[in-house]
């Protein structure tokens, strides 16, 4: 069925600098990803079993924001390889039934992109209006908008270009000038970038900063109250939805492609608007799990609100970690991270796994002399830990970021044959999900549970599963109100069944049970 692959599939995010280096320069590359595809899905229970990957940007880039500053949307940065390497990666992924999303960065380009080089060359250059230029106000920036990077220093979102005496807008680094999304030529140029990759065979896009794009045409100051939270005039304008509808039409020129939008709305009521009338992008990311403290009530509240708000055509998604945030295993600790994984992979909605999450990789403390990111995100981007060889099998050269100190112990090879490992847990869980219509696409219903326990039922014709997650450091009891057979527990090899459907949960234990 059209659309079922992204509704029923499990997604995996690859940060290409950190997955696998194939040429010894210390930076991961596309050929490296191809080499490691069997880890993701080789068609047997030995592999993780995921269905789709999202690869963070690999386009030509001066790397001020490690690829989120694109200087050519249609070519691969030499650090990562060539278009030929990309085609091979795509072919090898598809051969294994793995779909591929590429990361589209349409809010801004690099200041080295030929469009911006032209745009800044003179006030009457034909590309001047492809970016947002404005005259100084009282000798300073045109308004009070702030950049995302350097928020603590209250850095302006504007930089003066002395050559032409005007300021240009950049929501992120000064080396990432924002495109002018009021300009129809810009819209058409990005449509064509999408078609370039769709023609090459990609299955879709993850779209960066998809909530911002269009900014107030009059460049009005943001009200002070909004300065810290949601800026009113340069964030989530209604016109953004018009662009998402346009992108959906481009996707629909092709067969069964999709896009997931990076939308940082805190309020789910705002987030739900990005589903439109089933005429916008297929899903906005729901980042709310990333912001929750370890509390059953808080996670339950997010899920319940989301389930209540979603129109029938909308399909949810959930994420525990990504390249911008502290890893789940660091936020919660190893035992709880396993409970979180059980939740992620049994909820109704597409799960996104961040590379290394399946082996419990944690944030690494980066010594000051090795910090390379502009916004403190190196710790969650360290190289993937494959085995106990030098640099954990990631590279024969000096890795661009330090390897985790525990990499010799925490790695794929060490966990592969250990049935109690986190990797084995993920593999079993993903296989269970794939094998069960109830877990893949069934309905969701919260169950009554004691304080500190989040319990729910997933149900489809011919199958019913109960999930009980103990978020507390005390023993708790969960009841499914019907005979239940334990299928999986986050604790070691626990087995058993319960005639009355009641299970005693150890502290921070989660269970998955098949219900009659
Ligand atoms: O992030 C956009 C975003 O919403 C940021 O506020 C994010 O929270 C920030 O990274 C925190 O430090 C996207 C990408 O995911 C990020 O990696 C890029 O740096 C950013 O866009 C600019 O392209």
Task: Compute the radius of gyration of the chain from its Cα atoms.
Answer: 23
Q: Which residues share a beta bridge with 53?
A: 12, 100
Atom of ligand 1 nearest to the CA of 105: 23
Please tell me the least confidently modeled range out of 145-159, 200-214, 445-459: 145-159
Ranges of beta strands (E only) in 196-275 are 204-207, 258-261
pLDDT band at 284; cut points 50, 70, 90: very high
- Best mutation site among 69, 170, 209 for ligand 1, i.e. most ligand atoms within 8 A of its Cβ? 209
- Best mutation site among 109, 179, 208 for ligand 1, i.e. most ligand atoms within 8 A of its Cβ? 208
Give pLDDT tens digits for 318-350: 999 999 999 999 999 999 999 999 999 999 999
pLDDT band at 228; cut points 50, 70, 90: low
Q: Which residues line ligand 1 (CB under 6 A)?
A: 65, 68, 105, 148, 172, 208-209, 262, 264, 323-324, 375, 377
User: Domains, the chain, ranges and CATH?
Assistant: 4-106+184-431 (3.20.20.80), 108-178 (3.90.400.10), 441-515 (2.60.40.1180)
Supply the residue whose CA is at minimum distance from atom 17 of ligand 1: 324
Q: Is 111 a catalytic residue?
A: no
pLDDT > 70: what percent of the chain? 98
Residue among 2, 27, 3, 13 at smallest CA distance from 383: 27
pLDDT band at 234; cut points 50, 70, 90: confident
pLDDT band at 443; cut points 50, 70, 90: very high
Whole-number Å distance, alpha carbon 172 to ligand 1 midpoint, is 8
Name, in order, each residue with C-beta under 8 angstroms of 242's C-beta and a sequence gap of 6 or more. none
Phi, psi of 411 (to 5 degrees): -160, 170
Give pLDDT tens digits for 99-152: 999 999 999 999 999 999 999 999 999 999 999 999 999 999 999 999 998 777
Query: Residue 175 and residue 63: Cα distance in Å, rounded?
Result: 10
pLDDT > 90: what percent of the chain? 92
Residue among 203, 239, 210, 235 at smallest CA distance from 106: 210
Query: Residue 35 and residue 156: Cα distance in Å, rounded?
Result: 43
Whole-number Å distance, alpha carbon 176 to ligand 1 midpoint, is 12
Supply the residue whose CA is at minimum distance from atom 18 of ligand 1: 68
Query: Residue 193 and residue 212: Cα distance in Å, rounded?
Result: 19
Residue among 108, 155, 173, 149 at smallest CA distance from 376: 149
Taking a C-beta distance cutoff of 8 angstroms, is the pair 237, 216 a contact? yes
Please tell me the least confidently modeled range out of 394-403, 460-469, 489-498: 489-498
Q: Is 253 a catalytic residue?
A: yes
Residues for the chain: how many in total?
516
Whole-number Å distance, alpha carbon 28 to ligand 1 midpoint, is 20
Name, in order, each residue with C-beta under 8 angstroms of 98's C-beta and a sequence gap of 6 or more. 37, 40, 41, 50, 51, 52, 53
What would the DSSP string read from start to end of 343-406? HHTTSSSEEEEETTGGGT----PPPGGG---TTS-GGG-PPP---SSGGGGS-SS--SSPPPTT
Q: How far, CA to CA in Å, does 13 sit from each of 40, 330, 482? A: 11, 18, 38
Is the model's pLDDT at 495 over the cut of 90?
Answer: no
Angle formed by the axes of helices 422-435 and 334-344, nearest 10°: 10
Name, in order, each residue with C-beta under 8 angstroms of 201's C-beta and a sequence gap of 6 or more. 87, 90, 94
Whole-number Å distance, alpha carbon 284 to ligand 1 midpoint, is 15
Is the model's pLDDT at 264 over the cut of 70?
Answer: yes
The pLDDT value given to residue 131: 98
Query: 457: part of which helix (H) or strand (E)?
Result: strand 453-460
Is the model's pLDDT at 226 over the cut of 60?
Answer: no
Catalytic residue among 42, 185, 252, 253: 253
Is the model's pLDDT at 2 over the cut of 90?
Answer: no
Query: Residue 152 and residue 129: Cα distance in Å, rounded?
Result: 30
Residue among 515, 436, 512, 427 at smallest CA distance from 469: 512
Query: Residue 321 and residue 123: Cα distance in Å, rounded?
Result: 43
- For 491, the 3-state DSSP assignment is coil
Whole-number Å distance, alpha carbon 54 to ligand 1 midpoint, is 16
Q: First CA to last CA across the chain, in angstroms? A: 29
Supply the residue whose CA is at minimum distance from atom 7 of ligand 1: 324
Query: 262: part of which helix (H) or strand (E)?
Result: none
Give pLDDT tens digits for 367-412: 999 999 999 999 999 999 999 999 999 999 999 999 999 999 999 9
Quick count: other Cβ atoms within 10 Å of Cβ 99?
22
pLDDT band at 230; cut points 50, 70, 90: low
Is the model's pLDDT at 423 over the cut of 60?
Answer: yes
Mean pLDDT of all residues belonging to the chain:
96
Query: Residue 192 and residue 62: Cα distance in Å, rounded?
Result: 22
Supply the residue whose CA is at minimum distance from atom 5 of ligand 1: 148
Q: What is the mean pLDDT of residues 474-496?
A: 89
The pLDDT value given to residue 375: 95
- For 204, the 3-state DSSP assignment is strand
The pLDDT value given to residue 229: 52
Give pLDDT tens digits for 51-70: 999 999 999 999 999 999 99
Take residue 159 and report the two structure tokens written for it.
Answer: 């930089």
């Amino acid at each position: 069925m059209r659309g079922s692959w992204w509704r029923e599939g499990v997604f995996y995010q690859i940060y290409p600098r950190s997955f696998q280096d194939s040429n010894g320069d210390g930076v991961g590359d596309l050929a490296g990803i191809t080499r490691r595809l069997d880890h993701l899905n080789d068609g047997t229970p030995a592999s993780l079993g995921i269905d789709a990957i999202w690869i963070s940007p690999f386009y030509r880039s001066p790397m001020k924001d490690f690829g989120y500053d694109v200087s050519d949307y249609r070519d691969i940065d030499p650090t990562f390889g060539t278009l030929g390497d990309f085609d091979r990666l795509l072919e090898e992924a598809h051969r294994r039934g793995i779909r591929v999303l590429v990361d589209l960065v349409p809010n801004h380009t690099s200041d080295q992109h030929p469009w911006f080089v032209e745009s800044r060359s003179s006030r009457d250059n034909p590309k001047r209006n492809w970016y947002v230029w404005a005259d100084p106000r009282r000798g300073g920036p045109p308004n009070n908008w702030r950049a995302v990077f350097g928020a603590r220093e209250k850095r302006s979102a504007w930089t003066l270009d002395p050559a032409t005496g005007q300021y240009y807008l950049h929501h992120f680094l000064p080396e990432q000038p924002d495109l002018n999304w009021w300009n129809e030529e810009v819209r058409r140029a990005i449509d064509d970038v999408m078609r370039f990759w769709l023609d090459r065979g990609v299955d879709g896009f993850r779209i960066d900063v998809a909530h911002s794009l269009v900014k107030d045409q009059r460049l009005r100051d943001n009200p002070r109250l909004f300065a810290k939270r949601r800026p009113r005039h340069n964030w989530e304008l209604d016109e953004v939805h018009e662009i998402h509808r346009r992108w959906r039409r481009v996707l629909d020129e092709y067969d069964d492609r999709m896009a997931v939008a990076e939308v940082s709305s805190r309020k789910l009521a705002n987030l739900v608007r990005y589903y439109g009338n089933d005429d916008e992008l297929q899903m906005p990311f729901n980042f709310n799990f990333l912001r929750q403290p370890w509390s059953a009530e808080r996670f339950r509240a997010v899920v319940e609100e989301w389930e209540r708000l979603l129109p029938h055509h909308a399909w949810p998604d959930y994420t525990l970690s990504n390249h911008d945030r502290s890893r789940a295993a660091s936020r919660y600790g190893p035992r709880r991270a396993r409970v979180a994984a059980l939740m992620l992979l049994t909820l109704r909605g597409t799960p996104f796994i961040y590379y290394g999450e399946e082996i419990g990789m944690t944030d690494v403390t980066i010594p000051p002399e090795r910090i390379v990111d502009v916004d403190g995100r190196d710790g969650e981007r360290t190289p993937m830990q494959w085995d106990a060889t030098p640099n954990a099998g990631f590279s024969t050269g000096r890795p661009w970021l330090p390897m985790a100190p525990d990499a010799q112990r925490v790695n794929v090879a060490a966990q592969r044959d250990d049935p109690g490992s986190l990797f084995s847990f993920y593999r079993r869980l993903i296989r269970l999900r794939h094998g069960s219509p109830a877990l893949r696409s069934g309905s969701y219903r919260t169950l009554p549970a004691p304080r500190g326990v989040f319990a729910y039922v997933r149900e489809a014709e011919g199958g019913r599963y109960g999930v009980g997650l103990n978020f507390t450091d005390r023993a708790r009891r969960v009841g499914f109100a019907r005979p239940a057979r334990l299928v999986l527990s986050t604790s070691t090899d626990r087995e058993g069944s319960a005639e009355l459907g009641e299970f005693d949960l150890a502290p921070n234990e989660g269970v998955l049970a098949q219900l009659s």
